[in-house]
Each structure stands twice: as structure tokens, then as C-alpha cells.
Homo-oligomer: A and B are copies of this chain.
């Protein structure tokens, strides 16, 4: 055994690899999976969007994230610098998002994308005080709704519900401003991290809490009132969706549930279609539901428990 690898072997390997490269560069191979940058503007950068979200977390929850020694006296510095940095970074990513979407429409030009991106970035930033307010009610709901919570600070710092809702409420503001692509990326970041899949199009009221959360899915046209509590594995989905003439689903039609104030939905329950769960209703675990529930209604799987209601899925 003179040589670990014969030269011939490597040469043959190179030839075979060369053939694969050639095949992969054939236009027929890459046509449907290739994105050609419009105006040479690159794709939105996931790392940058992630950085933006972390900056926003630090802005929204000062002292918990970002510099943890921020004081009331110095808060203006840190929040000011972070907000302005968000403005710069977000404007750039929004521009990339608009250019990406040009791929289909071809109607924008770059200066327009730039101007629009800056304008939308400012309008988004103006929503931050309201976003913080909503999140503060979510924090209160988490602390009050979970017997295992030791403090509201613990919820802010470590609860997946707050992680997911922070990303969602950010993404929802961008969605409302008709930003393409990026809202979905931001909620997917939280989906990946928490297992909670909140479509940025959903409307969610204050004091929302999702305990544990893994497997929760809330669809694009869902409407959720205030003080609603969900457990892991709950789906608010579409029952079916109408197709157009070509057999493609028609997009944008209301097709997910309306959940009114003070509703609780226990783990594993599935609610499908444009149904309404009335105020104060309780949906038991693993329930499969495709009909309206009146206010105060109680739906549970199988026979009622002898101890009375058995819906709890909390920890």
C-alpha cells in the first residue's frame, strides 16, 4: 500500500463531480428553484432580521435584554441608539423585501423601493409604544395564568409565549403595513425556536397567553379577543378552502376561527373554519371543533368527568 488514494481514483472522482456541476448549471435543472436578484439587490438577510428582532426585544424590555445595566438616567441613550439602528437596518431589509417581490410584478424601481422602505420603517417604529403596551399585558397574563411562574420577570426572560408573541406582534405591524415576505420570516424564527406558529396576519388582542406552546398553530385570518389563554398543541385552522378555476387555493378569504374575549382552549384542541367561539367559552383538550360555540359554552371530549369539568392542561 504505497498511496492512501490513487491518483486515478481522484481523477475519476473529479470528472464525475464535474459532470454533476454541469448538470446542476443546466437551466432546465435550476429554472424553478433559482432566484435572480432583481436590480442586483440581494435577498433579505436572516441574520440581519434576527439582529433587528433582538434589538427590538431590548427596546421593548429594557434591562432584560440588551445591556442589562441600563438605568432610567441612561435609558434614552440605549433606546435611542437601538431605535435608530433598527430604522437603518430595517429600511435596508424592507428594500430587499420589496425588490424580492418585484420578481413577480416587475413594476417597482429601486429608488421607489428605497423611499418606500424608509417610510414604512418609520411608520413601523411609531407603533413600538403600542407593541410594548400589548406585550406588557401578555406578560401579566402569563404570570397570572401559570402557577409555576415565580415572577413576571421570569416570564419576560424565559417564557416561550413571550418570545413568540414579541416576534408576532412585531411581524403583525409589518404585515399591516403590507410588507412582503419579512413578517413571515420573523414569525418563522419564533416558530423554529418555540414550536408556536403564529401567522403574522392573525389579529390577537391583549392579555394573550400560550402555555408551553409547542405545536400551536394560528392561521392567517384568525381573530382573537382579549384575555384568551391557549395550551400546547392547539390549532386554529381552516376547514377547507375554495379553489379557483385552475385548482389553486383562492388566497385572502377569511377562513379561520374568531375567538372572543376570555376564552380558554386546552391542549391539543383543534378549531377549524370561520366559526366563532363565544366570550368566556372553554374548549377542552383534544377536542375537534368545526361549529360555533355560544358565549360561556363548554366543549369537551367524550363524557363529562365525574369531578366536574376536566379541561385543564396547565402546568
Contacts and interface: CB of A to CB of B under 8 A. Distances in A.
A136 B237 contact: no
11 contacts: A2-B109, A13-B118, A17-B83, A34-B63, A35-B64, A77-B80, A77-B84, A195-B195, A215-B232, A286-B286, A291-B305
Contacts of A285: 235, 270, 272, 288
Contact of A80 (B76, B83, B256, B307): B76
Interface string A240-284: 110000011111110110000000000110101100000000001
Nearest to A253: B147
Given A29-B132, A146-B249, 18 more contacts: A19-B126, A20-B126, A24-B79, A29-B129, A35-B62, A35-B63, A42-B68, A43-B68, A101-B151, A147-B253, A158-B184, A219-B314, A233-B268, A238-B314, A240-B311, A268-B268, A270-B286, A288-B301
Contacts of A78: 80-81, 84
A73 interface: yes
Given A4-B114, A215-B233, A288-B301, A315 B220 contact: yes
A194 interface: yes
Q: Which of A2, A34, A63, A128 has the most CB of B within 10 A?
A: A34
A5 B267 CA distance: 49
A192 B191 contact: no
Contacts of A159: 188
A185 B158 CA distance: 6
A1 B76 CA distance: 32
Contact of A238 (B111, B118, B147, B288): B147
Contacts of A139: 32-33
Given A14-B73, A154-B184, A249-B147, A3 B42 contact: no
Contacts of A168: none
B103 A153 contact: yes
A97 B108 CA distance: 28
Contacts of A17: 74, 83-84, 87, 122, 125
A119 to B, nearest CB: 8
Contact of A3 (B22, B74, B109, B122): B109
Contacts of A62: 30, 33-35
Contact of A76 (B3, B77, B87, B311): B77
A110 B268 contact: no
A5 B37 CA distance: 13
A52 interface: no
A1 B112 CA distance: 11
B315 A238 contact: yes
